[in-house]
Structure 1
Amino acid sequence: MSQFDTDLIIAGGGLAGATLALALARAVPSLRVTVVEAFPLSAEALPEDYQPSYDARSTALAWGSRLIFEELGLWRRLSEHATPIRHIHVSDRGRFGATRLNADEHQQDALGYVADNRWMGLCLMRELLDTEVQWQAHTEVVDMTPIAGGVDVALKTADDSHRMTAQCLVVADGGRSGLRERLGFQVRHRSYGQNALIANVSTSESHQFSAFERFTDAGPMALLPHGAANRAGQQSALVWTLTDEMLEEVLALPDADKCRRLQERFGWRLGRFARIGECSHYPLKLSTVDEPVRPGVALVGNAAHALHPVAGQGFNLALRGLMTLVEQFRLAVEQGQSLGDLQVLSRYQQLHRQDWQQTAQFSDSLIRLFGPSLTPLAVARDAGLVGLDLVPGAKRWFARKAMGLGGRRAVIHKPKTGTGEPASHD
């Protein structure tokens, strides 16, 4: 009989927490996993049919993330409402620099995908119903105390409070809950002095499964193909970078004027902007936790790091980190170590840190390079975009970064043969 109430507690059942729970159920079914989340998990709580909403928020999934979801047995269901990105067009507004990426050049069906967050959550919930994962609904983690070999976690519901012991606590509730700060983790923020405005838009011409990254003097803007999975439509997901002053101006405009302002910034590559949906926004900053693990506790996803959305790599980076953590938990079980052993969690941190640093540097360098339009720098970056389009090796490197490939791939299932060493994406 285990001395703990459960083996692992995951604080947060959103995309990161639910994916971690499902991956552990697949890779280490002997583990007792408990997810603590406000949302209930039951067949009755999930709709039978998914009806996409025009205003649904979405996430860009790299090709590498598709490979992970395939390994988890989730992709077949998820792909029903995932719009492929078959072309990426990167340009500098008002200048000649541009580069184009095509899936055919890489012998892939797509460079990436765009999926509604709600649809991804429902797919994860459906899969979790068929596992042994325990789900504590209408509950939140409020505190944690280290104990011998594990942690004692304080839980709170609307009616009462109780405690639960485990080998390890994983904080996967994002960067806004305040749990990581209450646990004493130090977070560093660097503001970009910009905001991201998020909305879905309709254009008079079809996107033809193309994503557009447009750099402007006020910051980057992106349009990602959205809507049907098998038919090129006219709906795109917009990420529009704005200063504080510009954000206030745009939000105060009627929808028709928002479309006109957007037209001025983006241009006519997709024809006329005919509709803009409900707008949401948030300030842009680079957030990091230098030491995201300690004995018995690990931070993952946005609780550990948050990137500028310019390269669309935030969730994809988090997903790769989750698989690295699953890999280390699997090895710990095989070697008889506690999940919360600092040696186990430090291995995870060390392996994920390089990916995090490279991805953060890639995203941050784009912001710096395509920032203020100083003429010498503008000419140099335009030449760089043209060169990127003409030089196969450089273009392949850029494409694999965008596709979430090129780095270490975690082994979350024990290999049947071989050494068990993790593979790399060449």
Structure 2
Amino acid sequence: MSDVVIVGGGMVGLSLSLMLAQANIRVKLLEAIQYPNTEESSLDSYHSNFDARNSALSRRSVSIYQELGLWDRLKNYATPILEVDITEEGGFGHAKLLAQEEKVESFGSVIENAWLGRVLLNQVRQHDLIELIDGIKVTALHQTRQSATLTAEKDGKQYVFDSQVVIAADGRDSFCRKAVGIGADVHDYDQVALVTTVQTSQPHQHVGFERFSPLGPLALLPLHGHNRRSVVWPVKKGTEAEWLGEDNDQHFLKALQHTYGQRAGIFEKTAPRFAYPLSQVLAHRQVAGRVVLMGNAAHTIHPVAGQGFNLCLRDAHVLVRYLSQQHIKNADLGQSEVLLRYEQARLKDQKRVIQFCDSVVKGFSNQHPILRLARNAGLIAFDRIPGIKPLVASYAMGLKA
């Protein structure tokens, strides 16, 4: 019997498996997709199943990867955020957060998922306490008082895995969540996120921008390389075809320039755009017997503030602490009281982040003149009233979880 089986080998599943292994807990990691070969030395030649998106890692997330001994490798492709600039297109409000004023080295770092995924995957493959099985599909999940049992298929063969705990990190449409009878509330934002990388005529100077526009909230974040920036732009569902494809490169750059203004100079080039549907999916529970939901299986949230992955890492870090305490005592890792205590311990942080992201999306989507006036006045108040910035910054950095 395994100590822990993780279903889902995305960035959350990979990170969690390394945290557990560091606590001397044996892990089986099951992933439905066949992983690529990541032995190439050059990132330029790397084509992975980790998508084109980028992750804004909070200071707390950075510290987690430091604990895992991975940050020295990750930071080679990570770009610190030293300033956050918040505005609304056509509005007078303006708020700014400066790392120097908040007396921190940075607010966090932006890293390309392809590089983060590669580093995590290589580390997992090298770890003696992690058995990685990719290209395998889970078909059944059953529990008893003593164990949890997964049935899976690979290359036409059936496999059975018994474990003390199953951690379901298998995405917002989680098979495991449905298998244990946990429902979920789903809210469709009627948006898709346009994701790409652009090159600008002026260097990014480590500034991250949140620009609210009638098309949707535009996040422009600094990337590795002085003139490269990550773009995440939620737009109305059904309009994405207007922005995708090489034929629309100049159309996209023109819209970006109009929305963003001249702060970056000229938007010179764009990589291919990808579109991801946006919805909020919140599981009714996160623990059922010996099964724990993790990552998007537990809570999928809007990317407007870049908090989703950071929240998942904090969940994983706390869960490992509870399981490690059981492991040290040679006690049952899947003890119901322990897993339920973990769930309870995470609710406050989760609810705060989820409500914040949802309120920002809804609050800035309405273009009524009175609401626009109130929003811009609020940005000025945020920028000038003492004591607000440090509190918001500490939450954004994951230091008040």
Taking the aligned partners of 2:103 and 2:97, their CA distance within structure 1 comes to: 12
Q: CA deviation at 1:53?
A: 7.3
Partner of residue 96 from structure 1, selected from 92, 113, 137: 92
Distance 1:271 1:53, change over 3 A: farther
Taking the aligned partners of 1:45 and 1:91, their CA distance within structure 2 comes to: 40
Q: CA deviation at 1:300?
A: 0.2
Structure 1 portions without partners, runs of 5+: 408-426
Partner of residue 65 from structure 1, selected from 57, 61, 64: 61
Partner of residue 167 from structure 2, selected from 148, 153, 170: 170
Partner of residue 265 from structure 1, selected from 259, 262, 268: 259
**1:41–1:135 CA contact under 8 A, matched in 2:** no
Partner of residue 231 from structure 2, selected from 213, 227, 238: 238
Taking the aligned partners of 2:352 and 2:273, their CA distance within structure 1 comes to: 31
Taking the aligned partners of 1:153 and 1:245, their CA distance within structure 2 comes to: 39
Q: Residue type of the partner of 1:234?
A: N
Q: Residue type of the partner of 1:260?
A: K
CA deviation map 1:68-125 (0-9, x unaligned): 1111211111111111111110001101111111111122221111111121122222
- What TM-score do you get using the length of structure 1 for normalisation? 0.88
The more displaced of 218-227 and 174-183 is 174-183
CA deviation map 1:208-261 (0-9, x unaligned): 111110011232111011123xxxx11111011111243232236521111112
Taking the aligned partners of 1:103 and 1:301, their CA distance within structure 2 comes to: 28
What corresponds to 1:289 in structure 2? 283
Partner of residue 212 from structure 2, selected from 209, 212, 215: 215
- Number of matched residues? 396
Aligned to 2:398, what secondary structure does the other structure show?
coil
Q: Residue type of the partner of 1:246?
A: T
Taking the aligned partners of 1:378 and 1:357, their CA distance within structure 2 comes to: 26
The more displaced of 145-154 and 52-61 is 52-61
The more displaced of 126-135 and 149-158 is 126-135
Taking the aligned partners of 1:393 and 1:97, their CA distance within structure 2 comes to: 19
What corresponds to 2:140 in structure 1? 143
Superposed, which structure 2 residues align to 1:125-144 within 5 Å? 125-128=121-124, 129-144=126-141
Q: Residue type of the partner of 2:143?
A: P
What corresponds to 2:399 in structure 1? 405
Taking the aligned partners of 2:380 and 2:58, their CA distance within structure 1 comes to: 24
- What TM-score do you get using the length of structure 2 for normalisation? 0.93
Partner of residue 381 from structure 1, selected from 375, 378, 383: 375
RMSD: 2.0
What corresponds to 1:414 in structure 2? none
Is 1:327 aligned to 2:321, yes or no?
A: yes
Superposed, which structure 2 residues align to 1:16-31 within 5 Å? 16-27=12-23, 29=24, 31=25
Is 1:191 aligned to 2:185, yes or no?
A: no
Structure 2 portions without partners, runs of 5+: none
Q: Residue type of the partner of 1:388?
A: F
**2:141–2:176 CA contact under 8 A, matched in 1:** no
Partner of residue 277 from structure 1, selected from 263, 271, 279: 271
Taking the aligned partners of 2:377 and 2:38, their CA distance within structure 1 comes to: 54
Q: Residue type of the partner of 1:14?
A: G
What corresponds to 2:70 in structure 1? 74
